[in-house]
Structure 1
Amino acid sequence: MDAHPDASRERDRWAASADAWDRWADPMADLADKLNRPLLDAAGLTAGDRLLDLASGAGEPALGAARRAGAGGLVVGSDLVPGMMAGAVRRARDIGEREGGPAPAFIAADMTALPFADAAFDRVTCRFGIMFVPAVASALREVRRVLRPGGKAAFMVWGPCAGNGLFAGIGDVVADHLGEDGSLAPLFRFAEPGRLSAAMRAAGFTETEETDLTPVRKAPAGQPFWRAALDMSFGHRLGGLGVDRRTALEADIARHFEAQAVNGVVPVPSHARIVVGW
């Protein structure tokens, strides 16, 4: 059995981080798109498809999916925490005013009890969300239920913490300052190859396929490239910190990454995995 925080703890965690996700969503859009495109490709999303995006947060990848599905398709973004979607709704409105074209609909929804009819969607996507669901078997059965026969579900999850330098580095410093509370562990729930595939097959998927992505981001030394990840993934632990403690923590994070710089560049490896089922 997986050791995993309960549902109320997860809800509180993301409610506490909602403002940070909204604040960083636009500055991080280009970087997010580098992850969104391979996920949507893996799902097989094409014009005219009906897609459900789970754990959409501030709108990724639902916003890009709406462009790809086009006027003849439908994209519905969902999240357990309504506050997380405030940024998604704002961004959809801003993009619509700036670019026109189709926009996703957003709805609060629990993955374990989706408010949709059987076989309602051609595709389901979930970027870095499935690992936070305590009742993952129930969620995967619901995904299978709302997919039409022949439809595909594509999940993106993190590989091992050791292969994700940004989380590993920030997590170590946060633990040094605030103690270890285990809140980073759920990110890597499906780090082991084949683990999510096995859960999907147990939930009714007949075939699964996995693809690893291991890019190395080259960040400029001396720049706080790590601040978005700190706010978005650790914000629930930082809200009560005074200015002095927050400043000291950030200074130690900066020193950690500056120590890894080579010729003015900090290599930041990442390891994600796309798991597709049908």
Structure 2
Amino acid sequence: MSGGGRTAGVPPVREHEIRRWHESGQAWDRWADAMADPAARLNGPLLAALDLRPHHILLDLASGAGEPAITAAKGMGPTGRVLASDLVPAMLAGARRRGVSVDALSFMTADMTALPLGSASVDRVSCRFGLMFVPDAARAVAEMHRTLRPGGVAAALCWGPQADNTLFRLVDDALGGMPELAVLFRFAEDGSLASLFQGAGFNTVAESPVRQTALADAAKPFWRPTLDMAFTPALARLAREDRAALEGRIAASVRAQADQDGRVPVHLHARLVVARKT
């Protein structure tokens, strides 16, 4: 891409998505290590649903800073492989840094709606909090189905309702409401993910909620990773003093919700879909 100009052959909506993730790559890389523990708690249900074996080939879509691809690759045997993919190289920079010593891990810049892989070429497909960003999500799920071998399993996590996700609600309230945030909750409605995978031809599809709660120290900016990673385009438009005022509003809101011990419950609600190709 070149400064402000259109990219030849790329539809405007896709070009906007590419620009968004190119601008967000550094923030995701910067917070990857600090967010390792929360990532691990979300990796658990997703990887368990995939029922991975050491010889499998796993395609991980929208890998970002590297999870769950890195964790999965560490459990692979000598014939197993994990392909970590993302739309733009900038988003994979953190994954390459963190996974440099993992032998079973390789990287691929790819559009999940047009994967450069043969049909029936992988055993498992995972996608953690990436599918809702794809304008043509149905086509992306069709590509999952195409690339999976018979008997293969796809598993995806997307966010549940915004009201049930404390971090997004806190930051969105402080920003005064962000219409572009709605895409995060595109598949929040119960059954919407399952319907998407059924429409792509998967034979056995199950959808379930994933709910987690942690207690956070109100005196610490535990919300800053979410602010930086999810709101990169909005933050780029803010002057330094406006950014400081925004963070002040978030901190004040957090303090107002703290208990007598200075702790705030942080709730998370995601939707997990597991689909088998038979």
TM over 0.5: yes
Distance 1:55 1:173 in 2: 28
Give the match for residue 22 of structure 2: 15
| Residues matched between the structures, number | 264
Describe the SS at the equivalent of 1:17.
helix
Matched, 1:161 2:162: yes
Distance 2:71 2:44 in 1: 8
Does the 8 Å CA contact 2:76/2:104 hold for their aligned counterparts? no
Does the 8 Å CA contact 1:70/1:102 hold for their aligned counterparts? no
Q: CA RMSD in A?
A: 1.3
1:277 partner letter = A
Query: Deviation string for 1:43-88 (max 9, x for gaps)?
Result: 1112111100000011111000101223320000100111101111
Deviation at 1:222, TM superposition (A): 0.9
Deviation at 1:270, TM superposition (A): 0.8
Give the match for residue 9 of structure 2: none
Describe the SS at the equivalent of 1:214.
strand
Does the 8 Å CA contact 2:128/2:157 hold for their aligned counterparts? yes
- Map 1:71-86 → 2, pairs under 5 A: 71-86=78-93
Distance 2:206 2:42 in 1: 17
Query: Deviation string for 1:161-218 (max 9, x for gaps)?
Result: 01001101101111x2xxx452211110000111111111111101101121111111
Does the 8 Å CA contact 1:201/1:208 hold for their aligned counterparts? yes
Distance 1:9 1:257 in 2: 33
Does the 8 Å CA contact 1:14/1:236 hold for their aligned counterparts? no
Give the match for residue 33 of structure 2: 26
Describe the SS at the equivalent of 2:179.
coil
Distance 2:68 2:19 in 1: 23
Query: Deviation string for 1:67-114 (max 9, x for gaps)?
Result: 122332000010011110111111112xx1xxxx53411110001100
Give the match for residue 209 of structure 1: 206
Same amino acid, percent of matched pairs? 51
Does the 8 Å CA contact 2:171/2:250 hold for their aligned counterparts? yes
Distance 1:71 1:267 in 2: 42
Does the 8 Å CA contact 1:159/1:191 hold for their aligned counterparts? yes
Does the 8 Å CA contact 2:157/2:273 hold for their aligned counterparts? yes
Q: Relative to structure 1, is the Cα distance of residues 228 and 253 closer, same or farther in structure 2, using a 3 angstrom cutoff? A: same
Give the match for residue 275 of structure 1: 273
Give the match for residue 227 of structure 2: 230
Give the match for residue 67 of structure 1: 74
Give the match for residue 174 of structure 2: 173
Matched, 1:102 2:103: yes
Structure 1 gaps, min length 5: none
1:167 partner letter = F
TM-score (normalizing by structure 2): 0.92
Distance 1:237 1:51 in 2: 34
2:75 partner letter = R
Query: Deviation string for 1:5-52 (max 9, x for gaps)?
Result: 922222222211110000000111121011112101111112111100
1:191 partner letter = A
